Structure 1
Amino acid sequence: MIDKLEMFIALAQARHFGRAAEAVGVAQPTLSAAIRQLEESLGVMLVRRGSRYGGLTPEGERVLQWARRIVSDARTMREEIRIGSKGLSGTLRLAVIPTALAVASRLTASFAQSHPDVRLTILSATSISILEDLDGLRIDVGISYLDNEPLGTKTTLPLYEERYTLILREDHPLASRDRIAWGELRGVPLCLLTPDMQNRRIIGGLLGQAGVPVAPRVETNSTIVLVTHVLADNWATILPRSAAEFFLSHGPLRAIPLAEPDAGHLVGLIVPAREPQMPLVAALLSEARRFSSRENSDR
């Protein structure tokens, strides 16, 4: 039954029989047969079918919630049994918004020191895909914004508050300023993250409130590309200070706080709301509490 539920979860996420079969490593006829067997055992139709995948039925949507819970519980049970005999080990999968990667790296480095037998997979992702991948059981932990968009039923742990700065070269005309108001950015050539990133939506909202048109000359999903453009010419970008610190130590750059408003957003861990948590997730949450305490005491 568990393997059929895993195939059903994959189909609901992929919305395509072929891609779902590839995701779980089986042939498409095998996946189709498993879904039909699941439907027969439950006595309801779960998937609308025509010439192609047509979505889940109302019964399928309800079964999907149960399937995620059952599969997650089964994985947790297997992990607890394995770790009980072998100690904390295995692979912990994280997805992180781009502006939090530097902080996430400090957290995972500290975690890796304490748990040398655990492997870490860390991916850069949008806030929306982080929530989707948590629900689809493709990642174990997300690091994202906690207070700007609906998270659904999740457990969260704040790490730090994101504050925004204008990043520019030391020879930029604005580089001598101590603070800059958002409204003063009209006419400044900006490079920003792409609109699918929540950071871009936050920045766009703050610029819009200040009456500044949101018309970046360059858009990218990489903070490295943003800073490279700033270093190459008279551009500027807007990043949280926590994301800019690495670049500030490796180039002739300045980070100037943005004011009016002096906005901030909480960033932290997001995990499925369940008890008990998977042992690896519980260990990371414990490390994150210590990490957050150290980070905040240093500020």
Structure 2
Amino acid sequence: MLDKLEMFIAVVNEEHFGRAALTLGITQPTLSTGIRQLEEQLGVQLIFRGSRYGGLTPEGQSALAWARRIVADAKQLKEEMQASRHGLAGHLRIAVIPTALTWAARLTSELSASHPNVRFTVLSRTSAEILSMLDNLEVDAGLTYLDNEPLGRVSSEPLYSEAYRLVCRADTPLAARKSVGWADLADQRLCLLTGAMQNRRIINRNLSEAGIAPDARIESNSTVVLVANVLAGDWVTVLPADIAQFLIQGKPLAAVPLDGARKDHVVGLIAPHRDPHTPVVQSLLRAARTISTCRTPPAA
């Protein structure tokens, strides 16, 4: 039945039979047959369907929670048995907010040093997408803000407190300053992350409190695009310190500290709340504690 439950979860995640079959590496007829067999075994209809996916029946909604729990438990059992015989191995899927991608590299490197047989897939996503992907079992963990917007019931390990930098060309007056205030951005041409990014919502609040309309003429979901625009023209952007320093290396750009933020927000690792976690996720949480620069947990 386990393979049928995985088919069911894939259809719900994709909301499309063809795409779900593609993610599972099977044909659509095989997928459709598997769903019908699952419904026959359970004695209920799980999915409304005609010519296309039509959503879940009430029974399907209830079955989905069970399916996710059973598939997660089965994965944990498999990993524990393999770890007991062959050492820690497996495939970790991690979704990361764009501004924390350098920390994702630190985290995977830390874990790989002690467990070289663990493989990783790292995806850049918004904070909202990360929570959805965790719920849908599409990823095993995420790097996101811990103290700005609700996370739900998750396990978490703080990694660092975010401090902001103004990224500008090195030949501009602002680059020569030791620091700038948010109010100093009033007459600057801003390029920022899109409003779907939690980082942008934090920046908007800081700009608004400084009396500045948070208006960016260029928006992107990529930090690389923002820095490329600063390099190419008379734009400036605001980024967390770590990603800013990484992106300006070797370029005629400066990252100037921004003073007067309402608060520094904590970014950390999150995983679905389970007791216990799978061995691989447990090791990832331990690796996060090892590299963390946070001395105390974030405020609730």
Give me the TM-score of the superposition, normalised by structure 1: 0.92
Match in the other structure for 2:92: 92
Which consecutive unaligned segments of at least 5 residues does structure 2 have? Answer: 296-300
CA deviation vs aligned residue, 1:174-204 (integer Å, no higher than 9, x gap) = 2233332323322211111122222122222
Return 258-267 or 136-145, whichever deviates more. 258-267
Mapped to 1, the partners of 2:36 and 2:183 lie a distance apart of 59
Query: 1:8·1:35 contact (CA, 8 Å) conserved in 2?
Result: yes
Query: Partners of 1:59 and 1:209 in 2: how far apart?
Result: 48
Decide whether the 8 Å contact of 2:227 with 2:237 is kept in 1: yes
What is the aligned partner in structure 2 of residue 239 from structure 1? 239
**What CA distance in whole angstroms lies between the structure 2 residues aligned with 1:262 and 1:131?**
25
Structure 1 regions of 5+ residues with no counterpart?
A: none
Superposed CA deviations along residues 236-261 of structure 1, whole A, max 9, x for unmatched, are 10001121122344223322232333
Question: Match for residue 149 of structure 1?
Answer: 149
State how far apart, in whole Å, the 2-side matches of 1:145 and 1:296 are. 13
Q: Which residue does 2:120 correspond to in 1?
A: 120
Native 8 Å contact 2:134 2:271 kept in 1: yes
Q: CA deviation at 1:51?
A: 3.3
SS of 2:267's partner is strand
8 Å CA contact 1:163–1:263 kept in 2: the answer is no
* 1:243-282 superposed Cα distances (whole Å, 9 cap, x missing partner): 1122344223322232333432111111011122111111
Matched-pair contact (CA < 8 Å) for 1:172–1:234: no
Equivalence for 2:255: 255
Q: Report the counterpart of residue 110 of structure 2 in structure 1.
A: 110
Measure how far apart 1:158 and its partner are.
0.8
Q: Which residue does 2:298 correspond to in 1?
A: none
Aligned partner letter, 2:112: A
User: Contact 2:158 / 2:294 at 8 angstroms: preserved in 1?
Assistant: no
Residue range with higher mean Cα deviation, 193-202 or 275-284: 193-202
Helix, strand or coil: the match of 1:95?
strand
CA displacement at 1:80 relative to structure 2: 1.0
Runs of 4+ in 1 over 6 A off after TM superposition: none
What's the CA shift for 1:65? 1.1
C-alpha displacement of 1:76 = 0.8
Alpha-carbon shift at residue 9 of structure 1 (Å): 0.6
Structure 1 residue 296: Cα displacement: 4.1
Quick one: distance in 1 between partners of 2:152 and 2:289? Answer: 22
Give a deviation string over 1:38-85, Cα, whole Å, max 9, x none. 223223222122332111122212211111110000011111111211
Q: What is the count of residue pairs matched by the alignment?
A: 295
Counterpart CA distance in 2 for 1:19 and 1:119 is 24
Aligned to 2:200: 200
Query: Within the alignment, does 1:166 sit opposite 2:166 as a pair?
Result: yes
| C-alpha separation in 2, matches of 1:142 and 1:130 | 6
Distance 1:209 1:262, change over 3 A: closer
CA distance in 2, matches of 1:148, 1:56: 32
Instruction: State the partner residue of 1:27.
Output: 27
Contact 1:79 1:279 survives alignment (8 Å):
yes
TM-score normalised according to structure 2 size? 0.91
Distance of 1:7 and 1:26 partners within structure 2: 10
